A and B are shown apart, each in its own frame.
Chain A
Amino acid sequence: MEVLADILLVIGSAFMAIGSLGLLRMPDVYNRLQAGTKAATLGAMALLLGIGLHHPDWWPKLLVIAGFVLFTNPVGSSTIARAARMTGIKPWSADKQQGDA
Chain B
Amino acid sequence: MTLTALQLLAVLLLAVAIGFSVIRLLRGPTTLDRVVAADTLAVITTAGLVGLAAVFDNPVYLDVALVYGTLAFVGTVAIARAIEGNKG
List the count of A-B residue pairs having beta carbons below 8 Å apart. 166
In the complex, are the beta carbons of B66 and A16 less than 8 A apart? no
In the complex, are the beta carbons of A12 and B10 less than 8 A apart? yes
Chain A residue at smallest Cβ distance from B9: A10
In the complex, are the beta carbons of B32 and A84 less than 8 A apart? yes
In the complex, are the beta carbons of B47 and A43 less than 8 A apart? yes
Chain A residues proximal to chain B, CB less than 8 Å: 3, 6-7, 9-10, 12-14, 16-17, 19-21, 23-24, 29, 32-33, 36-37, 40-41, 43-44, 47-48, 51, 54-55, 58, 61-62, 64-65, 68-69, 72-73, 75-77, 79-80, 82-84, 86-89, 99-100
Shortest distance between the CB of A64 and any CB in chain B (Å) = 7
Shortest distance between the CB of A54 and any CB in chain B (Å) = 6
Known: A12-B47, A73-B43. A65 touches B80 (CB 8 A): no
Chain B residues proximal to chain A, CB less than 8 Å: 4, 6-7, 9-14, 16-21, 23-24, 29-30, 32-33, 35-37, 39-40, 43-44, 46-47, 50-51, 53-54, 59, 62-63, 65-66, 69-70, 73, 76-77, 80-81, 83-84, 86-88
Known: A19-B17, A82-B84. A29 touches B36 (CB 8 A): yes
Query: Within the assembled complex, what's the spacing in Å between the Cα atoms of A10 and B81?
Result: 35
Shortest distance between the CB of A6 and any CB in chain B (Å) = 4
